[in-house]
Chain A
Amino acid sequence: MATTTTSGGGDFVSNLGRIYTIYTGGFIAFVILMAILSAAGVPNVIIGYMFVGFTILIYAVIGILSRTMQVGEYYVAGRRVPAIYNGMATGADWMSGASFVGMAGTLYLLGYDGLAFVLGWTGGYVLVAILVAPYLRKFGAYTVPDFLSARYGGNLARFIGVVVLFSCSFTYVVAQVYATGIISARFLGLDFNVAVYVGLAGILVCSMLGGMRAVTWTQVAQYIVLIIAYLIPAIWMSTVKTGVPIPQLMQGTALANITALETAQGIAVNHITPFVHGGYNALNFFLLILCLMVGTASLPHVLMRYFTTPSVREARVSVAWSLLFIFILYFTAPAYAAFAKWTMLDLVASGLTPDNIAEKAGWMMRWAAADNALVQICGKAAIDTAAIAAACAEQGVTNIGFANINLNADMIVLATPEMAGMPYVISGLVAAGGLAAALSTADGLLLAIANALSHDIYYKMIDQNAPTARRLVVSRVLLVVVAIAAAYVASTKPADILAMVSWAFSLAAAGLFPALVLGVWWKRANSAGAIAGMIAGFGICLYYLLGTRYGAVGFVEMWSGLSTATAEQLAKFEELKAAFAAAAPDAQAAAWAAFDKHAQTIANWGGVKNLSAAAFGLPVGFAVMYVVSRLTKEPSHELQEFIEEIRIPRGKTIMEEKTA
């Protein structure tokens, strides 16, 4: 490739170890400086600003230093990223704002059943390594649709690939922008609408000038920030509670104490009991694991990270490193959750009443004041002592029990430092970590979308003769357009956006996985089969997701035979339907809302949650692809040779780029 030499590029790669060691040391020194300033009386708001401002400044500097005008650098970082650094970058790319902010909270609330997320989001990398990544690297694509087009001959497969990519990546990126907005709003005191655009600016400085190259090196920096920010509170809690600074190991002690406290407080549903929380029966637990794993192996923004390694061999090792770096956070998350839960159970066991809550847990009121939905006690927002007293008096509660306190999953990680009485500097650090997680994922996703639009749609389908400079300009313009669109959608605070993130996994799994895997492992797979399989798998999955969520009434009427609804639930459905039909015009909206809400609880096939829609899309996708491929002509001799070439590491990449 003619793009290997860039100004100072070689120096930079050979000095990576030194550069990032200095960076890590610098960051730790910064945290210590903040702690000293905080102790010296500098107000919390200033500390918050410095944490957010300083880290974004670093990312921006890296982004600007990595600017490039070369196609190979822009799309795949010149394919010079060593396995271990690509692993770190993938870790940051992968762990979203939701993983950082929401995962431990979900584990806190769901106990054992939340571990489906931990298992699904790690085990998926096994599939990435053995089935997909090394072969895509050998092929030498710039984007995932590139591969589909070459393997399944033509732009139709490419176009469907872009549609699937866009639909799974866009909702995901909106959620990341939303998360950056939430964190900036909480810690900088900005208005949410302003905060969203501030977050957007942070995202764009990293990705716009240098494409994949800049994103790679900022993601490495972001990984370091986010992992330090995640580990410190967990280590802190472990040390305070048990005297041993290894939270992952001492989690056992925490679990034993949780169970004892739960028994003492008469809590029926134990933290460690499987298949009882939040509607996760065994079927949904295992299906969710499957969808998350297969989705991981199909999400384009993850797969494209492995296009940047220098060789096929490095790509394989790089997947292992990625998983190791991801593992460090994911095996801490259950410990984080356990220590937070232990702390809360202890707090409640010490005798919590509306009179002493201000003194014992003032943080609850601060969070409730920020957003009513975050902390509820006795069913009402815990804004102040009077509100808590009134709500509890109404329910006849004098001693506030564990069940009376309702914490939102997304606030638990951010609030833990206060919950466990840590100094404010740790809160600032956690905010910087959450921001790093959200920004890095947003960068990867935006780049995946913009690259697909500029490379696959514009260059490959519209203007094959476009000069390099114009392609890169188009790419950047599209990046900004997509980013602004994402920020706009995020600023409308779409209520369902966080739920939709989990949909991305099912959509990617059903739409892309069969075509990618069979493309490498089954020579007989042909164009007609792949196209039919992608449309069928993606279509069924989308139908199930949208049908059960937005068209629940119609879904129940059409499929009541397949639903697991009981006779009473169906009777109630008919009752609400009659009530809606009979409602006066001004009461119609309310009647419909009640009707639709009930319908959503019973709209399903065989009791499968809509989170796991790929449970249907995936087998359908595979089956259709197999049958249609068998019924139509086998791929040409040249194409079979091409598959042979992909399967062996030796030799040039198949798709040499004729540019630069």
Chain B
Amino acid sequence: MATPDRVSYWNKTRSLMFLMLGLWFFFGYVIHFFVGPLNNIVILGFPLGFYMAAQGSLIAFVVMLFWFARKQNSIDEEHGVSEE
């Protein structure tokens, strides 16, 4: 079953997974390590560090998932493994 196409499909899928994992780690953790300095920037009353935890990262997660669903689907189609 491990045809070249399958191998390339899985490599692309795996790269996408690691990219998503990286973004997840950035918005889930890295950005919040800097909450102190970010809080010095205030927009519309929001300290930026607080904003990122209350809304910013959440928005990023939602957008990421819709993008992921599209991207993975195009990988499926490209390799002829999408569902009929």
Contacts and interface: CB of A to CB of B under 8 A. Distances in A.
Contacts of A493: none
Contacts of B84: 650
Nearest to B66: A320
A648 B54 contact: no
B50 A249 contact: no
Contacts of B6: 644, 648
21 contacts: A112-B53, A119-B32, A119-B57, A122-B61, A123-B24, A123-B27, A126-B28, A127-B24, A252-B51, A256-B45, A289-B28, A313-B73, A316-B72, A320-B66, A323-B65, A327-B58, A327-B59, A331-B55, A644-B1, A649-B82, A650-B82
Given A248-B55, A289-B28, A311-B83, A327 B45 contact: no
Given A317-B69, A323-B61, A115 B53 contact: yes
A392 B64 CA distance: 52
Given A112-B53, A272-B47, A320-B69, A118 B39 contact: no
Contact of B20 (A126, A313, A324): A126
A112 B2 contact: no
- The SS class assigned to the A binding surface is helix
A289 B83 contact: no
A252 B57 CA distance: 16
- Chain B contact residues, majority secondary structure: helix
A245 interface: no
A119 B49 CA distance: 13
Interface string B20-42: 11011001110010011001001
A641 interface: yes
Contact of B65 (A118, A126, A285, A286): A126
Contact of A272 (B24, B39, B62, B80): B39
A58 interface: no
A232 interface: no
Contacts of A286: 29, 32
Given A274-B36, A331-B55, 11 more contacts: A118-B53, A119-B58, A126-B24, A129-B20, A129-B65, A253-B45, A293-B28, A311-B83, A327-B58, A335-B54, A650-B76
Contact of A649 (B54, B61, B62, B76): B76
A334 B9 contact: no
Nearest to A113: B53
B81 A650 contact: yes
A289 B2 CA distance: 38
A639 to B, nearest CB: 12
Contacts of B39: 272, 274
A361 to B, nearest CB: 26
Given A313-B73, A316-B69, A320-B65, A647 B10 contact: yes
Which of B24, B42, B45, B76 lies at the interface centre, i.e. has the most chain A CB atoms within 10 A of its CB? Answer: B45
A389 interface: no
Contacts of A645: 1
**Residue among B17, B20, B24, B42 having the largest count of chain A Cβ atoms under 10 Å:** B24
A489 interface: no
B65 A255 contact: no
Contact of B55 (A126, A129, A334, A648): A334
A555 interface: no
A498 interface: no
Nearest to B27: A123
Contacts of A280: none
A251 interface: yes
A327 B69 CA distance: 17
A641 B2 CA distance: 9
Contact of A123 (B2, B61, B81): B61
Given A274-B36, A649-B81, A313 B76 contact: yes
Contacts of A249: 44
B77 to A, nearest CB: 10
Q: What 5 A-B pairs are tightest by C-beta distance, nearest first?
A: A252-B45, A320-B65, A256-B45, A252-B44, A115-B53
Contact of B62 (A127, A131, A313, A323): A323
Given A129-B65, A647-B13, A649-B82, A123 B50 contact: no
A252 B42 CA distance: 9
B73 A316 contact: yes
A391 interface: no
A119 B53 contact: yes
A125 interface: yes
A319 interface: yes
A455 B80 CA distance: 35
A3 to B, nearest CB: 19
A203 to B, nearest CB: 30
Contacts of A254: 45
Contacts of A115: 50, 53-54
A80 to B, nearest CB: 14
A618 to B, nearest CB: 15
A115 B56 CA distance: 12
Contacts of A327: 58-59, 61-62
Contacts of A255: 45-47, 50
A642 B2 CA distance: 12
